[in-house]
Amino acid sequence: VVNMDIENIVGTAGAAPSVHNSQPWQFAVDHGDILQLSAAVDRALWVCDPSARFLYMSCGAALMNARLAIRVAGGQPDVWLLPHPDYSFDVLARIHISPGSPPTPEERELYDAIPRRRTNRGPFTGQPVPEPVAAAMRDAAHAEGAELHTLDRAETETVLAASAKAGSELAATPEHRDELRRWIDTGSDDGIPAAALPHQAASQPAPVRSRDFLGAARPAAPGASGGRSAGPAQGPKVEYERSPRLSVLTTAEDEPEDWLIGGQALERVLLTATASGLSASFLSQILELRDMHEDDPPHWEGPANPQMIIRLGYATEPAARAPRRPVGDVLDWRRPAPAAQAS
């Protein structure tokens, strides 16, 4: 591909956040100048994500990173989202790469933030986010065709209470717990490591996803084989910030293309936050429950077409690193298309 380090592009894409760190993406090089992004359907979470919204969001986040890596290498990525029916249904995007203009300082800054961005489920300080930083995050969402709404205090309390209720409901759903268990502390190159789980909160409702996560991470009985490693959840209870700062990322519509747009916007917001020293975690229990009960979804009073509820703030402790699949597993090199036959 036009003098590009494809392994670096795919490795950078793979640093994106994904639901339960399932990393549901697969890349292939096609026709020499096309990088194709497909859904790794065997990594879909059919219980908590029956519509595949979060699979698309995760792949959208990876696509954002790939675009930045191409730009920083001096390329121009032209993206064709959801090229079905010309390509198989699991192809989510085709990126045509051509020589481009030099990257802007903003593109460099976002790219540099990629390896530093981590989901931080620990307590934040509660120190307010300066308005210029808040504006930069709104602009980041807008630049990708989405919107970021910051909730006021009353809305935050409503969403926290609804998240806690949704989390309890999920924790009480055996299929959900079984699925979650397969992605927590796997000891493999995917899933959420025990060290990255939230602490037990001293006061409820906690601004992190604790009920179903910690329920699924319960350590095995003493003496049983396959005991799980200790994480913050096994430590003492901690106080989370009293006035968490929650934002809702929304899209214009709520179709698969919007989920890919939402994922790119999510990653751009997170990288903008990281570049300003902010950390983030997510509260997606309400959204999961809505997709699991499409016929009778739980009540949602927030802005229309929510794609993610994001908690932002200044971390009090560094986040543990979540593992990643090696590039060799994520990238398929295809044979270049045969050259045209000379007649």
Ligand X SMILES: Cc1cc2nc3c(=O)[nH]c(=O)nc-3n(C[C@H](O)[C@H](O)[C@H](O)COP(=O)(O)O)c2cc1C
- 282 makes contact with ligand X (CB under 6 A): yes
Q: Which residues contact 340 (CB under 8 A, 6 or more apart)?
A: none
Pick the binder of ligand X from 12, 58, 250, 272 (CB under 6 A).
Answer: 58
Q: Which of 43, 67, 94, 118 binds ligand X (CB under 6 A)?
A: 118
In angstroms, what CA-CA distances link 251 with 142, 162, 255, 258? 10, 21, 9, 6
Give the interface size with ligand X as a residue count (CB under 6 A): 20
Instruction: Say whether residue 57 binds ligand X (CB under 6 A).
Output: yes
Residue by residue, DSSP assigns 146-176 as EEEEE--HHHHHHHHHHHHHHHHHHHT-HHH
- The DSSP bridge pattern shows strands 245-251 and 306-313 to be antiparallel
CA–CA gap between residue 117 and residue 339 (Å, rounded): 42
Q: How far is the CB of 314 from ligand X (least distance, A)?
A: 17
37 near ligand X, rule: CB under 6 A: no
| 119 counts as binding ligand X under rule CB under 6 A | yes
Detail the DSSP E strand segments found in 252-341: 279-282, 306-313, 331-333
206: its two tokens: 């906690």
Cα–Cα distances (Å) from 327 to 5, 63, 189, 331, in that order, read: 12, 15, 11, 6
Q: In the sheet that 146-150 helps form, which strands lie side by side, from edge to edge?
A: 146-150, 245-251, 306-313, 279-282
The only residue of 43, 67, 71, 121 in contact with ligand X, by rule CB under 6 A: 121
Q: Which is nearer to ligand X, 23 or 38 (CB)?
A: 23
**279 near ligand X (CB under 6 A):** no
Interface with ligand X includes 209 (CB under 6 A)? Answer: yes
21 binds ligand X (CB under 6 A): yes
20 near ligand X (CB under 6 A): yes
Query: Looking at beta carbons only, is 318 or 336 nearer to ligand X?
Result: 318
Which letter does DSSP use for residue 279 in this model? E
- Angstrom distance (rounded) from CA 326 to CA 216: 26
Candidate list 29, 35, 292, 322; residue touching ligand X; CB under 6 A: 322
Q: Which residue lies nearer to ligand X by CB, 75 or 122?
A: 122
Query: Taking contact as CB under 6 A, which single stretch among the options 54-62, 133-141, 232-240, 271-279 is the one that binds ligand X?
Result: 54-62
Q: Interface with ligand X by CB under 6 A: which residues? A: 17-21, 54, 57-58, 61, 118-119, 121, 192, 209, 281-284, 319, 322
